[in-house]
Structure 1
């Protein structure tokens, strides 16, 4: 059975701009962002890629035309070969009626209700309704799908099935939390034998979303909501949470069964609906690191308190000891470690596709796992994130020739790549590292990465200012061999962190060894490596450690602020030439800028 997962809407950005006043890039960030496609063949995930990596528009919500075509070409199949098309949204007529009823009961003037009803109708008619989605697919691909072969999967269930599949299909409890889906922002439940069950008494309304509340904080602090939350997370390390915490005292109320509500509903048509409360409880806005860090630390503390409240209730309902945490809030890796350590679960998985990048995978898995013709087959313990395009020597050489006299290069043989890059990394240099298939998800996991030596305390400033062109407070993640991680980091119950989804304290004796990868609060967002998962990068790290006695390398995404992670050799060369990256490694090719010593 062949299942195609597909997320993205041709008219989504247009409708959010015209009907809801979303401006600039924000029009992509409400629903359908992180658009992409994935292909499942007889239960095996063979291809997945985000549309932004191909159309070069960060966080695009457009229909994933290029991603769909690439997945089919990668697998050598045609549209007519596809058995099911899975959509990670299920906006039914009943959901429209519920949303319309909520609007009718809102404390608004009749004229404003009528205007908002018009906006809601346009959204369903042009973007989210089933007929609109089917028409969009046909128009953009030229293939008209049989409606009976299109499976609309509730968004949070798609998230849950992403985590289930990535964790090796083991029975698990789950917590899903994000901005909003059809009617909810957070659900908990169980998956047993591939069948998810939601504990409905613990669901959280979209109006009470702490994901959207955190996005409001992001906007309030001067960043882009639904995109820059990690900046707020990074800032939180510069301050302690105030006590009592205004968020927990005045804005979020905790209730029985793991539920919670906000003191006022989130208003999609008033993106600054909480600003007055922030100023009331934190004082007038100040454009200083100190003020922003205090608000960020309070928001971070609130997230941990609320999600821990959800887990305490979940633990009373399930005897399963493995937890899946998925959804955009699961990318808050500072929270994840606290959440696991404070719970009764033995382990927690957060996948490389925890955000909406992964819902195309989860929707396809849900459609496959719940189809009557599905034959249960054992799967590998985990799934590789390296699911996107790859490029051979001919592709690399063609790209190098296209850049003419701007670059010079040498092709290295065998272990020359490892030895030469190791030698370079003993110095204070920044290296673009481009290998194999593109990784899926928001993190660069060693195939489209920027590498540096964490021994230099100011290497963070070098990368932030000269390469990434971003705020100086932003930290960088270390990569470490899985077996070495516990001696360098206080990992608690975690044995591995292959996707940079957990933060751990750096052991005191290593603070001076890896200062460039240690945040101001003494923690690091860790990626653990194995020889099986990333053989070339693991080999480089081993050789680097032998040479320097430094057991980690800095790994950050190969892009600059505002642009997607690079996909092709040409993307990598453009980024290399547009920044102060010192060296570029494209496969076996060591590339320098013309006039720079090779």
Structure 2
């Protein structure tokens, strides 16, 4: 037996993953245990969970892998600071203490974090090597092209190559400071959202605007080549030498200072979002076409933070040259922990890899689960009022009925998902036909911006009836955007006077709560193999209502990580205006609880940093 622990830490979204004999056993982000969103500390809780899941001790591990090479990253930082000296002094002064104390001593930190009981080899993969491994090895393909795109690893900001059998090989890379991830993050910062967590808000904002700034981006900010490579004019940016993303020249180009966080969003931010989104899609399409020409492969695997841009992914699927695309569900830094573990298993130790259409990533349900007794004990400790249902059939019938009646349901089942998306195990569910549901869930449940769209979970077998989506294509990880089918749309009065958030008032389809203002939806297809219980619930809702889909949003509020435990789920339920909580076979109605029903618990909301 070869047991391999993969770790990502100290930069963004720390995580741990365990692979045994080439099989993924467990993976989880540290934030889910500490309740600190994007926790970057050493993932001691995630490691403990992974080891417990496999009933292993640190001493029984054969390898530990880290997802990047800190000395190469330190080299990049020093060269960058030197090139911009003396301008980069304050950024240098802020970064160095953690490097000198912790990041330059990672073997020592890792062994300390494992209680001093692991004395075998620690392996370090390059950052984009970890991304590439996480993209290809769990994929259903025997061979594929690989494309990784993010902010920056050591030096690389994008790379491509191929995977075949149990080997990957990266052949080309784009290097810092020229970075698609950094370009998108710079606009995220300029529009008043938090870098490394607000990029998906910018993507959701884009359909409200027009790409009126696309020429400024392509003519001034970047010099884009036909193969998707580009150079950035660094005089517009400040991330190499300063503590902000953009420079005064950037501000002059786009007509003013960055938007203050939490201030009113204007048409300028909407148009900026639309412009950088369009630029991102064009760059990704050019990259994909070049990779296809260079590799001749028919399949593509994607990872890196930019691979979470599901709008760009949807265009790649529709307009790109590849027949099939597979995207790592934990495409960001957290997925690097899984990638390095798989890299060691297959590339270094030569473990056999057998591609499978569902396994090994399955439903990305790689986190903790809780048995009936532990759930009951927690609910009893809170004096919660609940009904324990006797069968999955009875559970699904009751929950489907409650959703049809307009209730918002917190749904916690099985193992927690690995990655940023809730996929039916830690989800908040609602009726997509309900015209009030989008604003209700945003403002009263999630406590987030009203413009944010919600995603549908649709039965795989009905997906092409409701969306412009090929019947033989899957989107099990909610990483592809498709348009609502023409047959499901409703007539909308078009007027140039209706702009910005006024577009929200228009009812665009019979499934209005998940239809974005451009008729798009971030799609999750649900099949019986990956999600048997969730598939059963949606099938029951379909039988009762004729609608084969549900709203699915992550079980958390703004600023909080997705819930992990029954305790997390109960606190979120009682701290919001959620109507129903389902944990395993236990069903709770808010109106029956001993605490004050239907009252927002501000103490609960205030404990999380809003981003």
TM-score, normalization by structure 2: 0.88
CA 1:99–1:393 in 2, change beyond 3 Å: closer, same or farther?
closer
SS at match of 1:538: helix
Cα distance in 2, alignment partners of residues 369 and 266 from structure 1: 40
1:128 matched to 2:103: yes
Equivalent position of 2:344 in the other structure: 367
Equivalent position of 1:139 in the other structure: 112
Deviations 1:487-532 (A, max 9, x none): 2111259711000000000012223321001111101001001111
Q: How big is the shift at 1:289?
A: 3.4
Q: How big is the shift at 1:559?
A: 0.3
Give structure 1 stretches of 5+ with no counterpart.
10-30
Q: How big is the shift at 1:193?
A: 2.8
1:355 matched to 2:332: yes
Equivalent position of 1:246 in the other structure: 216
1:542 matched to 2:532: no
Equivalent position of 1:313 in the other structure: 290
Equivalent position of 1:519 in the other structure: 516
Counterparts of residues 79-98 of structure 1 (less than 5 Å): 79-92=58-71, 96-97=74-75
Q: How big is the shift at 1:307?
A: 1.6
Conserved 8 A contact 2:14-2:31: yes
Equivalent position of 1:40 in the other structure: 19
SS at match of 2:146: strand
Q: How big is the shift at 1:472?
A: 0.1
Equivalent position of 2:370 in the other structure: 391
Q: How big is the shift at 1:314?
A: 1.5
Q: How big is the shift at 1:282?
A: 2.9
1:59 matched to 2:32: no
Cα distance in 2, alignment partners of residues 339 and 193 from structure 1: 24
Deviations 1:282-334 (A, max 9, x none): 32356433221101000101101112222232122111111111110011101
Equivalent position of 1:471 in the other structure: 449
CA 1:273–1:440 in 2, change beyond 3 Å: closer, same or farther?
closer
Equivalent position of 1:222 in the other structure: 192
Conserved 8 A contact 1:207-1:266: no
Residue of structure 2 aligned with 1:449, choices 386, 409, 427: 427
1:259 matched to 2:229: yes
Equivalent position of 1:330 in the other structure: 307
Equivalent position of 2:495 in the other structure: none
Equivalent position of 1:376 in the other structure: 352
Residue of structure 2 aligned with 1:483, choices 442, 461, 472: 461
Counterparts of residues 497-516 of structure 1 (less than 5 Å): 497-511=475-489, 512-516=509-513
Equivalent position of 1:20 in the other structure: none
Equivalent position of 2:608 in the other structure: none
Q: How big is the shift at 1:241?
A: 1.1
Equivalent position of 2:163 in the other structure: 191
Conserved 8 A contact 2:89-2:241: no
CA 1:452–1:115 in 2, change beyond 3 Å: closer, same or farther?
closer
Cα distance in 2, alignment partners of residues 309 and 256 from structure 1: 6
CA 1:244–1:442 in 2, change beyond 3 Å: closer, same or farther?
closer
SS at match of 2:284: helix
Q: How big is the shift at 1:381?
A: 2.8
CA 1:463–1:394 in 2, change beyond 3 Å: closer, same or farther?
same
Q: How big is the shift at 1:100?
A: 3.3
Q: Which moved more, 1:250-259 or 1:352-361?
A: 250-259
Deviations 1:215-251 (A, max 9, x none): 1211111111100111000000112212653211210
Cα distance in 1, alignment partners of residues 555 and 421 from structure 2: 10
Q: How big is the shift at 1:206?
A: 2.1
Q: How big is the shift at 1:4?
A: 0.5
SS at match of 1:363: helix
Q: How big is the shift at 1:551?
A: 1.9
Residue of structure 1 aligned with 2:528, choices 502, 507, 531: 531
Equivalent position of 2:577 in the other structure: 580
Equivalent position of 2:201 in the other structure: 231
TM-score, normalization by structure 1: 0.90
Deviations 1:307-365 (A, max 9, x none): 22222321221111111111100111011111232221111111211112211111100
Conserved 8 A contact 1:246-1:298: no
Q: How big is the shift at 1:427?
A: 1.6
Q: Which moved more, 1:288-297 or 1:276-285?
A: 276-285
Cα distance in 2, alignment partners of residues 459 and 89 from structure 1: 43
Cα distance in 2, alignment partners of residues 491 and 510 from structure 1: 13
Q: How big is the shift at 1:49?
A: 1.1
1:155 matched to 2:127: yes
Equivalent position of 2:600 in the other structure: none
Conserved 8 A contact 2:166-2:353: no
SS at match of 1:316: helix
Q: How big is the shift at 1:128?
A: 3.0
Cα distance in 2, alignment partners of residues 469 and 143 from structure 1: 43
Cα distance in 1, alignment partners of residues 472 and 81 from structure 2: 45
Q: How big is the shift at 1:378?
A: 2.2
Equivalent position of 1:276 in the other structure: 248
Cα distance in 2, alignment partners of residues 484 and 266 from structure 1: 48
CA 1:46–1:491 in 2, change beyond 3 Å: closer, same or farther?
same
CA 1:354–1:427 in 2, change beyond 3 Å: closer, same or farther?
same
Q: Which moved more, 1:467-476 or 1:284-293?
A: 284-293
CA 1:394–1:34 in 2, change beyond 3 Å: closer, same or farther?
same
SS at match of 2:581: strand
Deviations 1:545-587 (A, max 9, x none): 1111112100000000000100110100000000000000111
Cα distance in 2, alignment partners of residues 514 and 113 from structure 1: 51
